[in-house]
Amino acid sequence: MHSTFSVDGQDSIEALCWRALALGFNEIAITEHAEWHPHWRGTLDVDGYFIELERCKRQFAPRGLAVLSGVELGNPHDFSAEAAALLAGYPFEVRVASLHWLYDHNIHDAACFAGRDPLDVYADYFAALGHMAGDFSDIDVVAHFDRILWRGTLLGATFQPAALESVIRDALATIAWRGLALELNTRLLNQTPGWRPALVTMLRWFREEGGRRVVVNSDAHRVGQMGQNLDLARAVLSDAGLMPTVLGVTSDALGVRG
């Protein structure tokens, strides 16, 4: 999850911790954004983040809540020197990699699809996802691997995974071979129109390619998003033949935790 140390986070680390206790969570990870793309509009105060995180660790440990440090690296394979230096300089406990940039645009922006065949955009996105997983080694989780489908769906760009099975399987096989966890992000699972059938298919392919680790994360940017859509996540995992051994509760952390 993201606090106000991320440019798009809306609540403090302490507020996230209090909400976690109210929800009955016993562990959370605060994985702030680290981005180096010139179009990114914010910077991470890493030292300030760790000072506040350590304070919250001490405050909430007696109450039964573990607070893990973490970082979400945007396109770390494209900024490998910067990402490696950050990870070498700070003791992040959870290291997440996200493909946020394609064709020099943020994947959340319609500009990614402008003037292009949507099928080509989807193919290029999943190919880049595989490159990210294969080219940058010091990570634990590949985050929201389906995020391009949110923007595509809003634009009416139909996605049929069977049309891109080989390129998607290649990316998923790389993630599995590296022993990385694949994230099932719950924040948009209730999106209408949605893409849950395609998500089930791709998660099944991940299992068939040897993937054994899936994390269920809310990717919360505010307290109201914490632990959301866990019922939908359970259904998606079940339909994909991926049954959790643990169902705890956290965001952007290791394990099957919401």
Between CA 143 and CA 13 the distance in angstroms is 21
Residue of 245, 181, 246 whose CA lies nearest to 213: 181
> pLDDT truncated to tens, each residue of the chain (258 aa)?
999 999 999 999 999 999 999 999 999 999 999 999 999 988 999 999 999 999 999 999 999 999 999 999 999 999 999 999 999 999 999 999 999 999 999 999 999 999 999 999 999 999 999 999 999 989 999 999 999 999 999 999 999 999 999 999 999 999 999 999 999 999 999 999 899 999 999 999 999 999 999 999 999 999 999 999 999 999 999 999 997 665 443 333 334 333
Residue of 137, 144, 29, 141 whose CA lies nearest to 87: 137
Between CA 85 and CA 123 the distance in angstroms is 31
Residue of 197, 202, 111 whose CA lies nearest to 158: 197
Give the amino acid at 191: Q
Give the amino acid at 15: A
Could you give the domains of the chain? 72-239 (3.20.20.140)
For residue range 15-64, what is the model confidence (pLDDT) as tens digits? Answer: 999 999 999 999 999 999 999 999 998 899 999 999 999 999 999 999 99
